[in-house]
Structure 1
Amino acid sequence: MTTPPTAVTATELTKTYGTGDTRVAALRGVSLVVPSGEFLAIMGPSGSGKSTLLHCLAGLDTASSGRVRIGDSELGGLSDGRLTRLRRDAVGFVFQSFNLLPTLSAADNILLPLRLAGRRPDQAWLDRVIDLLGLADRMHHRPAQLSGGQQQRVACARALITRPRVIFADEPTGNLDSRAGAEVLSLLRASVRELGQTVVMVTHDPRAASYADRVVFLADGRIVDEVTQPTPDVVLDRVGRLETRAA
């Protein structure tokens, strides 16, 4: 059986903020490998370092020490310009707050990363993404004319349109009701299954984590546990143990 290529690799990541008495260690030697085509969820108690880890993996923040690779590119060796291009071309982002431009239609929001890169859309890929996300009848609507779930679907389409090596999702269902959240998670799951996408998602919600192939758990800036093929009950049990230990 052929081993899939690696989408993201982190090696002994540390991240500290402040100095002296105000020094805080957010990450303490985190190592992680995310194969291409995997849906990975990152969980942990508040302050465990999960968002810091996501931001370092995505090149939005710089680790204090250690290495991050996206595909064959080591982030620490890139100039600011090359890092910007890598984030634009090889990485997609889905955030809790949607981050859509209110004056643009859904179609223009989706195509924005390509236009900023001076690239023409692949019409067949665009049609496939729009069909997968069920947005065909919403392409000319502006964000204010869309529900929260529809806005997040537009954000997912925008993340997919460049065919990135990996999508990073930070609490993507945090502003959605349970039904809309389940729809967005199903679409992220479908992007992995049907489009071969890699997704790395931070969430506090055991139901959301159960859509992933694997869940890693952080506590005090370290990976302390992981579960493959998770169920909501198993994830809830692991989270409960970590919170009890932290208390």
Structure 2
Amino acid sequence: MTTAPFAAYAPHTTPGIAAATTDLTKVYGSGDTRVVALDGVSTSFREGEFTAIMGPSGCGKSTLMHCAAGLDSPTSGTVRIGTTDLGTLDDRRLTRLRRDRIGFVFQAFNLVPTLTALENITLPLSIAGRRPDPQWLDRVVAMAGLSQRLDHRPAQLSGGQQQRVAVARALASQPAIVFGDEPTGNLDSRAGAEILGFLRDSVRELGRTVVMVTHDPVAAGYADRVLFLSDGRLVDEMSHPTADRVLDVMKAFDSRARTS
């Protein structure tokens, strides 16, 4: 671990940044119902790196991901994808940026049941009126282990295979960054390990950038680094994580919650 638990957090400034947030704040409600989900979060996600975001329930990790991905608007602060400030984009340009430069993987597979695996993978490109790069598509499909499943519909696939289709769909447009919100949450441990290995390989072999929200220390152990949130603030970071080291930090969160 690079800092002691709950120490003041200093964001990275390394060049080659796929996405970054500066003084990001997100507030819901007002008066007695006011909730500060994010409280001045500044961080960056480096190109070609797999980052996991962790913290106790309600700490703001999904809110951070949704704001960083342009799915939600911050109350204040800035979000950049590459050099593009999302706050300067109107709805049409923001939609185009999300479509062309960002991939998404969620806990629910969100596949169209009447389409084949290949049709699901290429659906966003088809909607955008674009053809996939055949060499890239072949590489993604092969890495996902789906070469013999492309004609199958979702009901003919296991849960792990369906999520591999969802990850391949996120990668098919060659996005600058892929965001995953609990992507293994609906899978058993074996299928989850397959998806995490696929995400890690997409970083190491395809040069993608992946940011994943998870509550699972084992899942976080697949990442290159882990960011820890508490009460809407980034409080710690770990490079080269292992499941045991991540679990120790999460236990520290639990201990602090019991004594506060």
SS of the equivalent of 1:175 reads coil
- Matched length: 245
Structure 2 residue 49 is the aligned partner of structure 1 residue 46: no
For the residues of structure 1 that align with 2:204 and 2:221, how far apart are their CA atoms? 15
Report matched runs for 1:174-189 at 5 Å: 174-189=185-200
Q: Distance in 2 between matches of 1:98 and 1:125?
A: 22
Equivalent of 1:110, from 112, 115, 121?
121
Q: Runs of at least 4 residues of structure 1 off by over 6 A?
A: none
Unaligned runs of 5+ in 1: none
2:133 to 122, 125, 144: 122
Map 1:1-247 → 2, pairs under 5 A:
4-247=15-258
Cα deviation for residue 228 of structure 1 reads: 0.3
User: What is the alpha-carbon root mean square deviation over aligned residues?
Assistant: 0.7
Letter of the 1:20 partner, please give it.
G
1:243 is displaced (CA, Å) by 1.9
CA distance in structure 2 between the aligned counterparts of 1:62 and 1:49, rounded to whole angstroms: 14
TM-score (norm 1): 0.98
> Which amino acid is 1:38 matched to?
E
Deviations 1:85-108, CA, capped at 9 Å, x for gaps: 000000000000011111111000
Q: What is the distance in 2 between the residues matched to 1:65 and 1:243?
A: 30
CA shift for structure 1 position 245: 1.1
Determine the C-alpha separation between the residues in 2 that align with 1:67 and 1:43.
21
Instruction: Give the 3-state SS of the residue equivalent to 1:52 in structure 2.
Output: helix
Q: Aligned equivalents of 1:245 and 1:83: distance in 2? A: 40
Q: For residue 191 of structure 1, what is the amino acid of its counterpart?
A: S
CA distance in 1, matches of 2:183, 2:113: 19
How far apart, in 2, do the equivalents of 1:9 and 1:219 lie? 19
Distance 1:243 1:67 in 2: 31
Partner Cα separation in structure 1 for residue 81 and residue 63 of structure 2: 17
List per-residue Cα deviations over 1:48-105 (Å, max 9, x = no partner): 0000000000000000000000011111110000000000000000000011111111
Letter in 1 for 2:162: Q
* Structure 2 residue ranges without an equivalent (≥5): 1-13
Q: CA deviation at 1:246?
A: 2.0
Rounded to whole Å, the distance in 1 between the matches of 2:254 and 2:176 is 33
Percent of aligned positions with the same letter in both sequences? 67
Q: TM-score, normalised by structure 2?
A: 0.93
Measured after TM superposition, the shift of residue 14 of structure 1 is: 0.3
CA distance in 2, matches of 1:11, 1:85: 23
* Structure-2 separation of matches of 1:222 and 1:244: 18
Q: Hey, what's the Cα distance between the residues in 1 that align with 2:123 and 2:83?
A: 26
The offset of 1:34, in angstroms, is: 0.9
